[in-house]
Amino acid sequence: MSAGKTDISEIVVNTAAIAKMFNLTERRVCQLVEEGVISRAGYGRFDLIDTVSKYVTFLKVSSEGIDENDVVESLDYEKWLHEKAKREKAEIELAHIKKEMHRSEEVEKVLNQMVMAFCSKVLSLPTKVALMLINRDDPKHRF
């Protein structure tokens, strides 16, 4: 990092700065801490990114009339879905490694070969049937 730039993720500010940023009183900031909306990094100190993120979530939940428990449940559900997707991916990879599953390209290639073989046999039927029909009345060429 250059000398003139500061990593924003490391910025810690005091209660007065948070109050001014959110257009609140310092007492209201303390109430938000007591309510568990935001959390302190130390006595009277707040991690800027974490505090802003939590306060924005709080405002969003408040404005939409969503219960905070619903948000937590929703986050838990999303985490569960993510873990489920990871597990399914791992199972597919394991099945492929164990040769219990084939890649779609391989299956497509084999099926194309089977269809082409079937088509060639079906297309050869008219000539075989025509010979049978021509010789149907001839007693010498009975099949």
Give per-residue pLDDT as tens, 51-92: 888 888 888 777 766 665 666 667 777 887 888 899 999 998
Q: Which two tokens stand for residue 77?
A: 């559900």
- How far apart are the C-alpha atoms of 101 and 23, rounded to whole Å? 59
Comparing 91 with 10, the larger pLDDT belongs to 91
Tell me the DSSP string of 60-81.
HHHHHT--HHHHHHHHHHHHHH
Query: Which residues 6+ apart lie within 8 Å of 143 measured at CB?
Result: 132, 135
Distance CA 129, CA 29 (A): 92
The pLDDT, as a whole number, for residue 1 is: 45
Residue 100 predicted with pLDDT over 90: no
* Mean confidence (pLDDT) of the chain: 82
Of the CA atoms within 13 Å of residue 118, those in its CB half-sphere come to 6
The pLDDT of residue 118 is: 95
Asked if the model's pLDDT at residue 2 lies above 60, the reply is: no
pLDDT band (50, 70, 90) for residue 122: very high
Cα separation, 128 vs 123, in Å, equals 10
Identify whether the C-beta of residue 55 lies closer than 8 Å to the C-beta of residue 38: yes
**Residue 113, pLDDT score:** 96
